[in-house]
C-alpha cells in the first residue's frame, strides 16, 4: 500500500509535465502519442456504451423546436424517432448561421463534418448515449484535424493529430461537434481577440457587449444559452466553468481534480485546470460527466481515485410519499458567515430566496459555518502561487516573442517573480487550506455555498453553479441571470448533483431561454465598436 501510494505520488509530481508538454512547440504537440492502448480504448467504449439515459417528460416547447430541448430531451426525441440526428444538428447549425454574427460564440464551425456525422448516426453507423447530440468543444481541447488555437496567436496554426481524451470520450458516446467554443486567450478572461477586443457576448444581453458573459469558457456558455449547441465542455482554472454558467442561466459542473482527464488540453495552470460541462440543467451536466469521467492512462491524475458514482441516478428527482420533492440523502448545506452580506440589491434578494428554497426541501438543512482566521490570505494573495505554472511551460516562447501572448502577457511574466521557496510555501499552504476546509469549515456540513470560486479551484474540489433568478440589465428588468455556487467534498460530485436536482425540481429558472437577438432585418453583425480589455485588466481578472 505504501509503495503504491509513493508510486502514485511520484507520477503526480512528474507526470503532468510529460503528459501535457504542448507549449511553445506545437510541432512537438502534434507528434505526441495517441491516447491509450487498443485494450484501454475498447474498455472505455464498452463502459460508455453501457450508459443509459433516463426517460424524461419532453416539454411541448422542445417538441416544437429541437434547439429548445435539453440534452436528455433531445436524446429521447432521437430514440423515439421524433427527430433525426440530421434534423437536430441542422437546427442548431442554422441558428448559428443566423445569429453567431452577433453572439460570436464560435471560432471554428466544422459544419460539413457535423452534418456528415449526424447522417452517420441516422444510418446507425454511430451509436452511443450521446449519438447525434450537438456539442460545443472549448477551443483548448485538442480536436484531431480541426484547428485548436486556445484563441491565441501562439497556436494559430496548430491542427492536432489526436483528440483530447475528454473529447474522445464524448465522440465515443456518439456526440457531434458543431463548433469550437470561443474563449479567453489561453483561458485567461472572458472571450476576446488575442489583442483584448471583446468578441463573445452574453446570450441574454446580445446588444450590450459590456455585460460580462463569464469566462474563460465564454463561447461554450453562450452557444448553449443561445441554443446553437445542446451542451458543451469547458475548462476551469479560476472559475471558468462556474462563472459563465452563472451569468448565462446554465448549470456548470467542475468536478474534482482527476475525475476527467486533462490529456490533450492546452494547460493554463497544471494543478488547477479542470474539465467539465456547461449544460442546460443538472441532469444534462450529470449525463455529460458520466461520459467524460474515467481513468486515462495518459493522465496519472485520473488513476487510483474513488469509483465513479452513478451521476445520472443522482440527477433524478426523488419524491416522498406525499409527492413532495425531497433530497436523495440527508444533506447539510453550509452557509459561510457573512454569506448574504456579500451581496446587495436584487442579487441579495435572489440569494435569500434561494436559501429559503433549499431550506424548504425535506432532507436539506442549512448550517452556519465559519472560515478560519487566515482564509482571506490563503485564498487571496496566495492565489498568485499558480502563476509560475503557466510561466514554466511557455518560457521559451516568452524569451523568443512575448508579443504573441498579446493582452494576456502580464500574468505569464509575473510567474518569474515568485522564488522557488515561495512556490513551495504556496504548496504547503494548500495543505493547510485543505485541512482547514475538510476538518473545520466542512466538519459540520456536506456541501458548502461558495463566496468565491478560488478556494475550491486551489484545492481541486468539486463545484456546481446553477441559476437562481434574474436581475435587471441594460436589456430591461429580469434579463440578467443570477446564479449561486455549491462546493463539495473530494469526489462527491454526486452529492452536489443531488442537491441541485432537488432545487431545480422545485424551481424553473433553468428552463428559461433568452430572446433571439434583433437582427434589424438583415444578417446579423456586431454594431458599434467592441469594447476591449487592457493588459492590466486582464492581469487583474485572469483565471
Partner 1 sequence: MPVSAASLTDEELTAFVKARLLVSGFDLSLLPTTFDPATGVPTQDSLVASLKGFVRSTPGAINTWRPASGSPTDDDLYAQQVAPPLEYPSIVEAWTGKVDA
**Residue 381 touching partner 1 (CB under 8 A):** yes
The minimum distance between CB 530 and partner 1, in angstroms, equals 12
Grid cell in block for residue 293: 469521467
Cis amide linkage into residue 216, ω under 30° from 0: yes
List the beta bridge partners of residue 325.
319
Cβ-contact 320, 355 below 8 angstroms: no
- The verdict on whether 168 is a catalytic residue reads no
Which residue among the candidates 216, 231, 314, 408 is catalytic per the annotation?
A: 216
Q: How does 520-533 read in b/e, with b if 16+ C-beta sit within 10 Å?
A: eeeebebeeebeeb
Q: Which of 452, 454, 387 is nearest to 422 (CA)?
A: 387
Cβ-contact 271, 297 below 8 angstroms: no
**Residue 430 touching partner 1 (CB under 8 A):** yes
Q: Within 50-84, where are the H helices?
A: 60-64, 71-79
Instruction: List the one residue from 128, 239, 258, 393 that touches partner 1 (CB under 8 A).
Output: 258
Number of residues that bind partner 1 (CB under 8 A): 73
Site string for partner 1, 431-450 (x = CB under 8 A): xxxxx--x------------
Distance of CA 143 to the CA centre of its chain: 17
Say how many Å lie between the first and final Cα of the chain, rounded.
Answer: 37
The minimum distance between CB 532 and partner 1, in angstroms, equals 7
**Residue 374 touching partner 1 (CB under 8 A):** yes
Of residues 263 through 282, those in contact with partner 1 by CB under 8 A are 270-271
The minimum distance between CB 230 and partner 1, in angstroms, equals 30
**Residue 155 touching partner 1 (CB under 8 A):** no
Instruction: List the one residue from 110, 196, 220, 336 that touches partner 1 (CB under 8 A).
Output: 196
- The verdict on whether 152 is a catalytic residue reads no
For residues 349 and 530, which CB has a smaller minimum distance to partner 1 in the complex? 530
**Residue 51 touching partner 1 (CB under 8 A):** no
For residues 248 and 256, which CB has a smaller minimum distance to partner 1 in the complex? 256
Stretch that binds partner 1, among 5-13, 17-25, 114-122, 235-243 (CB under 8 A): 5-13
Instruction: Return the H-helix or E-strand segment holding 412.
Output: helix 409-414
The minimum distance between CB 257 and partner 1, in angstroms, equals 5
Site string for partner 1, 495-534 (x = CB under 8 A): -------------------------------------x-x
Instruction: List the one residue from 373, 520, 522, 528 that touches partner 1 (CB under 8 A).
Output: 373
Instruction: List the one residue from 429, 442, 448, 454 that touches partner 1 (CB under 8 A).
Output: 429
**Residue 25 touching partner 1 (CB under 8 A):** no
The minimum distance between CB 33 and partner 1, in angstroms, equals 23
The minimum distance between CB 186 and partner 1, in angstroms, equals 13
Q: In a 10 Å sphere around its CB, with 0-12 CB exposed, 13-18 middle and 19+ buried, how is residue 374 labelled?
A: middle
Of residues 389 through 418, those in contact with partner 1 by CB under 8 A are 395, 398-399, 401-407, 409-410, 413-414, 416-418
For residues 221 and 212, give the distance between their C-alpha atoms in angstroms, rounded to a whole number. Answer: 12
- The verdict on whether 308 is a catalytic residue reads no
Instruction: Return the H-helix or E-strand segment holding 481.
Output: strand 476-488
Instruction: List the one residue from 92, 539, 542, 543 that touches partner 1 (CB under 8 A).
Output: 539
Cβ-contact 475, 452 below 8 angstroms: no
Give me the sheet containing 447-449, strands edge to edge. Answer: 106-108, 176-181, 134-138, 231-236, 274-279, 251-254, 463-473, 476-488, 447-449, 331-336, 364-369
The minimum distance between CB 321 and partner 1, in angstroms, equals 29
Q: Given its phi and psi angles, is residue 521 left (phi above 0), alpha (psi -120 to 50 degrees) or beta?
A: left
Instruction: List the one residue from 138, 301, 328, 390 that touches partner 1 (CB under 8 A).
Output: 301
Residues tagged active-site: 138, 216, 240
Amino acid at each position: 500500500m505504501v509503495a503504491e501510494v509513493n508510486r502514485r505520488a511520484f507520477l503526480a509530481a512528474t507526470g503532468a509535465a510529460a503528459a501535457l508538454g504542448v507549449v511553445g512547440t506545437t510541432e512537438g504537440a502534434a507528434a505526441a502519442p495517441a491516447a491509450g492502448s487498443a485494450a484501454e480504448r475498447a474498455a472505455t467504449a464498452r463502459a460508455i456504451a453501457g450508459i443509459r439515459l433516463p426517460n424524461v417528460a419532453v416539454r411541448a416547447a422542445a417538441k416544437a423546436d429541437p434547439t429548445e430541448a435539453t440534452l436528455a430531451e433531445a436524446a429521447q426525441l432521437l430514440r423515439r424517432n421524433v427527430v433525426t440526428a440530421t434534423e437536430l444538428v441542422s437546427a442548431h447549425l442554422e441558428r448559428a448561421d443566423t445569429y453567431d454574427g452577433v453572439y460570436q460564440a464560435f471560432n471554428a464551425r466544422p459544419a460539413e463534418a457535423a452534418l456528415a456525422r449526424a447522417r452517420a448516426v441516422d444510418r446507425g453507423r454511430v451509436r452511443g448515449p450521446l449519438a447525434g447530440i450537438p456539442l460545443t468543444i472549448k477551443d483548448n481541447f485538442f480536436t484531431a484535424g480541426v484547428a485548436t488555437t486556445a484563441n491565441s496567436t501562439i497556436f494559430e496554426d496548430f491542427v492536432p493529430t489526436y483528440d483530447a481524451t475528454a473529447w474522445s470520450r464524448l465522440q465515443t458516446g456518439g456526440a457531434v461537434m458543431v463548433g469550437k467554443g470561443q474563449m479567453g486567450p489561453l483561458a485567461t478572461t472572458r472571450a476576446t481577440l488575442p489583442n483584448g477586443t471583446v468578441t463573445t457576448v452574453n446570450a441574454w444581453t446580445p446588444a450590450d457587449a459590456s455585460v460580462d458573459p463569464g469566462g474563460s469558457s465564454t463561447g461554450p456558455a453562450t452557444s448553449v444559452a443561445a441554443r446553437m449547441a445542446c451542451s458543451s465542455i469547458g475548462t476551469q482554472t479560476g472559475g471558468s466553468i462556474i462563472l459563465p454558467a452563472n451569468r448565462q442561466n446554465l448549470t456548470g459542473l467542475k468536478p474534482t481534480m482527476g475525475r476527467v482527464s486533462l490529456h490533450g488540453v492546452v494547460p493554463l495552470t497544471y494543478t488547477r485546470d479542470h474539465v467539465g460541462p456547461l449544460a442546460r440543467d443538472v441532469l444534462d451536466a450529470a449525463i455529460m460527466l458520466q461520459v467524460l469521467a474515467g481513468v486515462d492512462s495518459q493522465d496519472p491524475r485520473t488513476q487510483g481515485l474513488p469509483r465513479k458514482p452513478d451521476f445520472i441516478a443522482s440527477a433524478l428527482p426523488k419524491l416522498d410519499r406525499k409527492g413532495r420533492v425531497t433530497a436523495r440523502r440527508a444533506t447539510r448545506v453550509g452557509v459561510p458567515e457573512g454569506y448574504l452580506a456579500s451581496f446587495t440589491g436584487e442579487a441579495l434578494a435572489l440569494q435569500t430566496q434561494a436559501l429559503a428554497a433549499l431550506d424548504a426541501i425535506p432532507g436539506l438543512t442549512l448550517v452556519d459555518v465559519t472560515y478560519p482566521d487566515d482564509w482571506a490570505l490563503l485564498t487571496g494573495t496566495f492565489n498568485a502561487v499558480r502563476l509560475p505554472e503557466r510561466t514554466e511551460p511557455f518560457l521559451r516562447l516568452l524569451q523568443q516573442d512575448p508579443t504573441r501572448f498579446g493582452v494576456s502577457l502580464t500574468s505569464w511574466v509575473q510567474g518569474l517573480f515568485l522564488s522557488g521557496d515561495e512556490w513551495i510555501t504556496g504548496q504547503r499552504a494548500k495543505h493547510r487550506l485543505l485541512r482547514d476546509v475538510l476538518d473545520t469549515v466542512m466538519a459540520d456540513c456536506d456541501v458548502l455555498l461558495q463566496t468565491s470560486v478560488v478556494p475550491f479551484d486551489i484545492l481541486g474540489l468539486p463545484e456546481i453553479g446553477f441559476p437562481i433568478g434574474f436581475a435587471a440589465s441594460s436589456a430591461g428588468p429580469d434579463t440578467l441571470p443570477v446564479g449561486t455556487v455549491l462546493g463539495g467534498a473530494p469526489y462527491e460530485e454526486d452529492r452536489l448533483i443531488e442537491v441541485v436536482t432537488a432545487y431545480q425540481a422545485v424551481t424553473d429558472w433553468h428552463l428559461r431561454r433568452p430572446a433571439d437577438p434583433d437582427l434589424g432585418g438583415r444578417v446579423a453583425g456586431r454594431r458599434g465598436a467592441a469594447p476591449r480589455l487592457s493588459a492590466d485588466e486582464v492581469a487583474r481578472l485572469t483565471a
